[in-house]
Amino acid sequence: MRVAVCGLGRMGTAGAEALVAAGHEVTVWNRTPRTVAGTVQAASAAEAARDVDAVVLFVFDGPAAEAVLLGPNGIAAGAAPGTLVINATTLAPEQSRELAAAAHAAGLRYLEAPVLGSVPAVRAGTLIVLTAGEPADVAAAEPVLLAWSHAGERRHVGPVGAATALKLVANLGLGVAAAGLHDAVRLGAALGLARADVLDVLTASAIGGLVGRKRERLDQAAYADADFTVAALAKDLVLVGDVTGTPLPVARAAAEVATSAVRAGDATADISALGR
Average pLDDT (232-242) is 96
Query: Dmax over Cα atoms in the chain, in whole Å?
Result: 64
Helix axes 208-220, 162-190, angle to 10 degrees: 60
In whole angstroms, how far apart are CA 155 and each of 36, 37, 87, 167, 171? 28, 30, 15, 12, 17
Q: Which pTM does this prediction carry?
A: 0.94
Q: What is the mean pLDDT of residues 234-246?
A: 93
Q: Where are the domains of the chain?
A: 2-159, 164-275
Q: Are 153 and 215 in contact (CB under 8 A)?
A: no
User: What single-letter amino acid sits at 98?
Assistant: E
| Whether pLDDT at 8 is above 90 | yes
Residue 176 pLDDT greater than 90, yes or no:
yes
Tell me how far apart the alpha carbons of residues 52 and 74 are, in angstroms, rounded to a whole number: 14
Backbone region of residue 82 per phi and psi (left: phi > 0; alpha: psi in -120 to 50; beta: other values): left
Per-chain mean pLDDT for the chain? 97
**pLDDT of residue 244 exceeding 90:** no
CB 182 within 8 A of CB 257: yes
CB of 9 closer than 8 Å to CB of 58: yes
Residue 48 has pLDDT above 90, yes or no: yes
How is domain 164-275 classified at the CATH fold level? N-(1-d-carboxylethyl)-l-norvaline Dehydrogenase; domain 2 (1.10.1040)
Helix (H, G, I), strand (E, B) or coil at 111: strand
* Residue 245 confidence (pLDDT): 84
Mean pLDDT value across residues 230-246 = 94
Q: pLDDT, tens digit, for every residue of 123-150?
A: 999 999 999 999 999 999 999 999 999 9
pLDDT tier, 155 (very low <50, low <70, confident <90, very high otherwise): very high
Q: What residue type is 95 in one-letter code? A: Q
Per CATH, which fold does 2-159 belong to?
A: Rossmann fold (3.40.50)
pLDDT band at 55 (very low <50, low <70, confident <90, very high): very high
Question: Which residues have a catalytic role annotated?
Answer: 167
For residue range 87-100, list pLDDT tens digits in order: 999 999 999 999 99
